[in-house]
Amino acid sequence: MATSESPRFLAGVVEGFYGPPWSQVERGELFAALATGGLNTYLYAPKDDLKHRTLWRETYTAEETAKLESLVRGCQSRGLLFIYALSPGLDIRYGDPTELARLRARFTQMLAAGCEHFALLFDDIPDRMNADDAEEFGSFAAAQCHVTNALARWTRERSPAARFLFCPTPYCGRMAERKLGGANYLATIGSELWSEIDVLWTGPEIISREITVPHVRDLQRWLRRKPILWDNLHANDYDGRRFYCGPYAGRPLELRAAVGGLLLNPNGEFALNFVPLRTFAAFVRSPGPWEPRTAYLAAMAEWLPHFATVDEPVSLEDLVLLGDCYYLPFEEGAEAEVFFQRARALIPTGPAPEAEAAGTFLAQSTRLRELCTRLTELRNRPLFYALSRRIWELREELDLLERYVTSTGAGQASDAECRSDFHLPATYRGGFLPKLQRLLAQRADGSFTPSSVP
């Protein structure tokens, strides 16, 4: 691996999101993209695969085993590590020997399918143990170390080259600060978890805007090993209205030497991950310096052929503008930010906007709105289906803004009547969930206060 002194450096993708797991075909396309990008790892951990998490005690059927065996072979044929993860933390009884036997039974199936590398995940679980486990182990961390160490040593006896990964209950800095999992959780993991086991970590937050070398080195002092980053920068399972096709950013190249690996957990919709995967792979290989925007523009140019339509072609300029609208969790792309500022300036509290400013906004808005319509003609239908609801919502918002700006520019008052046949009361921004969301307003510091919006 060009970016790490250790040949054990893991770089690739974790399928670790909530929502429909990727299909076998999509995973095959992923493996090809990983190999082409010089990456080396796929971690199987789809949250909503019932037997990964909720039904972890049940063994696989013959049909399920065959599908997993196909994935293992697909990875191995491309020189990729297939890491199989199991997440028993919702209801495991840590001190019950039969529970460890059930974990071994599942791993036995995967070993027979050709899998060599494994992980146990204890993320997103209830912060409590049953009374017997609490009395026997005293802490979550000690109980989890007990089970993980036993299973890792058992696995290593059968797969001597096995990598074994562990995801802690507090898997980011904020969770650790709040003592999720109990006091001294990370210190206990550092001292009691077998040193051969890698620990997964998402950074200061679940979705971290930045991950710095000092942050990771502080963590190393607790874990007594380099963490492997499970990076949720492009994950979108927490907000189905958004996706992220911006570049891999907010991480310095020096971070590669401070961690044991980098695993990207991207958009749940596989078709939307072209740019995240391309830029992530470029980051892993980059000799420096790293310019995220440059990498983004290059990847968008590579993605453009996927946007062939039945009629008028999509231009690179239009694709970049669209991508800038769905950039990264904490920022829009440069063109989308300029567009937003123009729109905000045209929602007046006083005099009507200047005609030149309104004309500039309307021209760009029309261009973007018409692009959303044109994308309904994409020949790549899986890509369109992944985009469809989001871009149609964008199109409707643009249509409404154009109507408003046009009405105010016609000399009417800023609160002039502006109606649309497509934005009806109780249907537009309607429903029970939006009503709940309007009850509380979030402050800049992340706290909430009662909203003034009815």
- Residues identified as active-site: 124
The tokens of 109 are what? 């199936």
The tokens of 268 are what? 């749940």
How many Cβ atoms sit within 10 Å of the Cβ of residue 340? 13
